[in-house]
Amino acid sequence: MCGVVGYIGGRNAQPVLLNCLARLEYRGYDSCGIALDGGSLRVCKDIGKIAELAKVVPQLDGLAGIGHTRWATHGAPSRINAHPHLDCSGTIAVVHNGIINNFQVLRRRLEAEGHSFISETDTEVIPHLIEKYYRGSLEEAVVAALGEIKGSYAVIVLAAGESKLVVARNGSPLIIGVGDREHFIASDVPAVLDYTNRVIYLEDGDLAVVTSGGVSVTSRGAGVERKETRILWSVEDAQKAGYEHFMLKEIHEQPKVIRDTLVNWVSVADSVVDIAAMRRNLESMLILACGTSYHAALIGKYVIEELLSIPVRVEIASEFNYYGQTLARTAAIAITQSGETADTLKTIRKLRAARCLVIAITNVVGSSASRLADHTIYTWAGPEISVAATKSFMVQLMVLYWLVMSYSRIDPGRLAELVMDLRGLPEKVQRVLGRGDVISEYASYLAQHEDVFFIGRGINFPVALEGALKLKEVSYIHAEGYAAGELKHGSFALLGSGTPVVAILARDNTYEAMLSNIKEAKARGAPVLAVAEEGDVAIRELADFIITVPVVDAIFSPVVNTVALQLLAYYTARERGCPVDTPRNLAKSVTVE
């Protein structure tokens, strides 16, 4: 979940490494560091931000170097635990993203052999293993060392005087940016876009030797070719463009990304995904995801069951991996924004081993999910920098809507109405964005509280879950999402004048029941903030505050309602002075289990 970078070429590596690390800040971190080879290795690292490190780091000359942003897993944030880590001789440096499951066994064995450790991290065993196996060939020593490791990793190895970087990945993302007699290594594309838009995606099991002049890749001992991919978005796309925060910018980009996704609604690796054939030949469909993508999956369940009449199970990927499932005659959709979510990748491998058809929905061309799945459907969100997912969630919904509607056999007149409403969503979302001032006022009220309940029913129950998640992750307010009918089964005990309830309504078969639930909350003294359609008269008599959204077909109500809740979370966090784009303890891409 941290970030690794590397550089080798003709320019001084220090400013390149610091700049690349700054481009990865969105991934979340608590410490950072760099190491350069100038004939001997020089290392500078500390807790805190990259900008602070840049102020104190001495001039480190060298044409090759590595860098790291750490999100603590093994050992508290500290200068000693920060990467890069060195071997005993101080001639081999390593940065690592991932988790080494057997590091304690390896560490005890290495200590018995005379190696001295100074940190609490799992990563430190890697340079010591490389030192142990080094016999004049750095890449052979890295291969031998990684052969001892159980777990996930993206590693970059730098050795004094070698004029090369050795990199490897297994379960954690790693890319190589290709320049003019220079190369850049990073966990993610934004890190290198200041220098190149030509990228090589490494695959699990790959080891690459990178010099200024070229890249040589092997996989399990055999040479392989990994093609270059040209990135179609620029570094400017990953800038704030005048917005105070990336999150606000990305919320406001949603009308555009909806249009882009509907225009380019599917880019499938091999052939069109025929869900109509699935309906004839399959007994059920399984959707797997984590976090915000899981909430998109829950909405997808309602849409698929209504328009395709296929029973759908939705599973949290991290739970699905640890208990048995009956998978016969099942197709699966795996949703992952980054295409590198560790738990979701594990489920894809499990499903493929069971010979299930797997469709991946992801935002990243060339990601691990796209290579593992039978078919890939790409979303068109562009770069999303804020840790809190907003526009990536929206395009996941767009793909699910359009994919299902493309194969629906409902009444043609009803289908035509849905298609027209779907294509009108960018304008409807823009109207919600225009109500930012009103939502900001309500957020100022919400910011005074420490507990908030979100309630919804039917297709808007997942919206309540997503609204609560957004509020808690960026504003640090404790928030819970509930199916509205469940409040009376225990949670009423927590309601009172100091516990606001955010109620999400749609004019569908749940509407009257939602009004009753709001009355029940009001009867217990809870202030109610309702998200409701324009022209809804009944809600005016019940709610203390109302965010109005444009009228859409109920099946699309999650779109406009979610945008309103994203703005509510954003303005609440801003009011509380929280670091909106980089919430504490969180990382953008969760690449470890």
CB-neighbour burial class of residue 439 (10 A; exposed 0-12, middle 13-18, buried 19+): buried
- pLDDT bin (cut points 50, 70, 90) of residue 266 is very low
* pLDDT value of residue 489: 78
Name the most confidently modeled range: 82-86, 171-175, 285-289.
82-86
pLDDT digit string (tens) for 446-497?
999 999 999 999 999 999 999 999 999 999 999 999 999 887 777 777 788 8
Same domain, 226 and 319: no
Same domain, 127 and 256: no
Residue 275 belongs to a domain: yes
Please tell me which residue in 2, 44, 356, 578 is annotated as part of the active site. 2
Same domain, 32 and 140: yes
Q: Is the pLDDT of residue 267 over 50?
A: no
Same domain, 289 and 213: no
Same domain, 528 and 443: yes
Provide the number of structural domains found in the chain: 3
Residue 91 belongs to a domain: yes
Same domain, 44 and 88: yes
- pLDDT bin (cut points 50, 70, 90) of residue 183 is very high
Judged by average pLDDT, the poorest of 128-132, 295-299, 312-316 is 312-316
Average pLDDT over residues 202-220: 94
Distances (CA, A) of 506 to 13, 254, 313, 354, 463: 55, 21, 23, 39, 11
**How would you classify the pairing of strands 41-47 and 92-100?**
unpaired
Average pLDDT over residues 161-169: 95
Joined tokens for residue 158:
């730098």
Q: What is the DSSP string of 423-438?
A: HTHHHHHHHHHTTHHH
Average pLDDT over residues 108-127: 95
E strand segments, 20-117? 31-37, 41-47, 64-70, 85-86, 92-100
The chain-wide mean pLDDT, for the chain, equals: 89
Average pLDDT over residues 18-39: 89
Distance CA 267, CA 378 (A): 6
Average pLDDT over residues 211-217: 95
522 is catalytic: no
Same domain, 54 and 174: yes
* 3-class DSSP assignment, residue 200: strand
Residue 586 belongs to a domain: no
Q: Is the pLDDT of residue 244 over 80?
A: yes
Same domain, 41 and 177: yes
- pLDDT bin (cut points 50, 70, 90) of residue 342 is confident
* pLDDT value of residue 283: 65
For residue 308, what are the domain limits? 246-423
Specify the DSSP element, H or E, that contains 210.
strand 206-210
Residue 591 belongs to a domain: no
What CATH number is attached to the domain comprising 70? 3.60.20.10
Distance CA 288, CA 297 (A): 7
Average pLDDT over residues 396-422: 89
* pLDDT value of residue 328: 64
Judged by average pLDDT, the poorest of 224-238, 243-257, 532-546 is 224-238
Residue 521 belongs to a domain: yes
Distance CA 85, CA 62 (A): 18
Domain ends where: 387, 404, 423? 423
Measured in degrees and rounded to the nearest 5, phi and psi for residue 255 equal: -55, -40
Joined tokens for residue 451:
């507990």
Domain ends where: 236, 263, 283? 236
**What do you get for the CA distance between the two ends of the chain, in Å?**
10
Average pLDDT over residues 44-64: 92
What CATH number is attached to the domain comprising 542? 3.40.50.10490
Residue 410 belongs to a domain: yes
Q: Is the pLDDT of residue 586 over 80?
A: no
Same domain, 438 and 479: yes
Joined tokens for residue 145:
């060392």
Please tell me which residue in 45, 391, 470, 588 is annotated as part of the active site. 588
Same domain, 385 and 353: yes
**Cβ contact 102:40 at 8 Å:** no
- pLDDT bin (cut points 50, 70, 90) of residue 271 is very low
Among the listed residues 576, 463, 428, 455, the one whose alpha carbon sits nearest the alpha carbon of residue 522: 455
Judged by average pLDDT, the poorest of 99-113, 172-186, 355-369, 428-442 is 355-369
Average pLDDT over residues 115-131: 95
Biggest CA–CA distance in the chain, Å, is 79
* pLDDT value of residue 236: 67
Domain ends where: 423, 441, 462? 423
Q: Is the pLDDT of residue 4 over 60?
A: yes
Residue 585 belongs to a domain: no
588 is catalytic: yes
* pLDDT value of residue 174: 93
Same domain, 184 and 35: yes
pLDDT digit string (tens) for 300-332?
999 999 998 888 999 998 888 887 666 666 788
- pLDDT bin (cut points 50, 70, 90) of residue 15 is very high
**How would you classify the pairing of strands 222-224 and 215-219?**
antiparallel
Residue 428 belongs to a domain: no
Same domain, 115 and 71: yes
Q: Is the pLDDT of residue 179 over 70?
A: yes
Among the listed residues 451, 456, 563, the one whose alpha carbon sits nearest the alpha carbon of residue 515: 456
Average pLDDT over residues 186-194: 90
